[in-house]
Amino acid sequence: MSGAVEKGAVKGGGFADLGPRVASAVILVASAILTLYVGGDVFAFFWLFAGFAVNWEWQGLIGGERRMARIIAGGAAVAAAAAFGRNGLAGVAALEVAAFAGVAAILAGRERRLWAATGVFYAGALTFSVCWLRESLEFGLLAIAFLFAIVWGTDIFAYFGGRLIGGPKLWPRVSAGKTWSGTIAGVVSGALLGLATAYFGGGPALASFETFLVAVTAAAISQMGDLFESSVKRRFGVKDSSQLIPGHGGVMDRLDGFIFACAFAAALGLARGDPSAAANLFFW
């Protein structure tokens, strides 16, 4: 759903890859919006399976020993993160995820220990953050919609901005397709779309300058998530995290930016305390 369309361009640039990406994106976006609206168990199970897929892809991507056992350990961490996230138990969730990450690290062997544990935290952070924010009183639905608008808007405008404006590459050693122009266009546009979502979803009081700063930060962090996954794949010589989404890579490829943005939003809400993690994104 994230996955910066920019990074999957065909050789030589252009828009030849746009058709299949739009088709798959429509299905994913529709599913995400529908489950967001329904909420409850439907929403939690949607993101639980996403977390399972992220952990499965990560453990396969890094290789190493006892892959299936690591997948099981990571899956248990994801399930715990989702359950405790729905009940707002951040501390317990962190301890559970850390424990299963330790198990995965031991199973992976010396050369892959840190990588295996990181994957468990990566998948666990997604499921905890998204479930915790959605369950937040009154503003849970709006908070996730706010993040969707930011991340999707950042990806889309980064793609078009990079191809229409061009210019220097952002970090060619990690991501050959990303440009400074596309990144800046994406971050600003994504933040503005997030602000518009806050305005139309919650009223003018929510569309403050502080909310815009939160949106800009989340947009920039989502691009960091994109670069992070690109660097991991480059480290292990992998083009796509998997082929779970035909012609469109894996779940990690689609969610890298959203994972980082959602974890940031949850951390911000947690740092500011009660009454609601989601409300803390909008009221200052």
DSSP string for 206-237: GS-HHHHHHHHHHHHHHHHHHHHHHHHHHHTT
* Average pLDDT value for residue range 50-78: 96
Predicted pLDDT of residue 10: 39
* Average pLDDT value for residue range 19-28: 76
Residue 18 has pLDDT above 70, yes or no: no
Predicted pLDDT of residue 248: 64
Residue the block writes with tokens 């991501």: 175
Report pLDDT digits (tens) over 95-139.
Answer: 999 999 999 999 998 889 999 999 999 999 999 999 999 998 889
**Using CA atoms, how far apart are residues 89 and 60, in angstroms rounded to an integer?**
30
**Using CA atoms, how far apart are residues 229 and 121, in angstroms rounded to an integer?**
14
Predicted pLDDT of residue 275: 63
Global pTM value? 0.90
Report pLDDT digits (tens) over 87-107.
Answer: 989 999 999 999 999 999 999
Mean pLDDT of the chain: 89
Cis bond before residue 275 (omega within 30° of 0): yes
Residue 5 near residue 161 (C-beta atoms within 8 A): no
Predicted pLDDT of residue 4: 41
Residue 150 has pLDDT above 60, yes or no: yes
Higher pLDDT, 96 or 5: 96
Residue 25 has pLDDT above 80, yes or no: no
What is the separation of C-alpha 45 from the centre of its chain, rounded to a whole number of angstroms? 16
Sign of the Cα torsion 218, 61, 129, 26 reads: positive
Long-range Cβ contact pairs of 177-184 (< 8 A, separation 24 or more):
177/6, 177/7, 177/8, 177/9, 177/13, 178/4, 178/6, 178/7, 178/223, 178/226, 178/227, 182/6, 182/157, 182/158, 183/158, 183/223
Predicted pLDDT of residue 8: 42
Residue 79 has pLDDT above 90, yes or no: yes
Tokens of 89: 């138990």
Residue 267 near residue 125 (C-beta atoms within 8 A): no
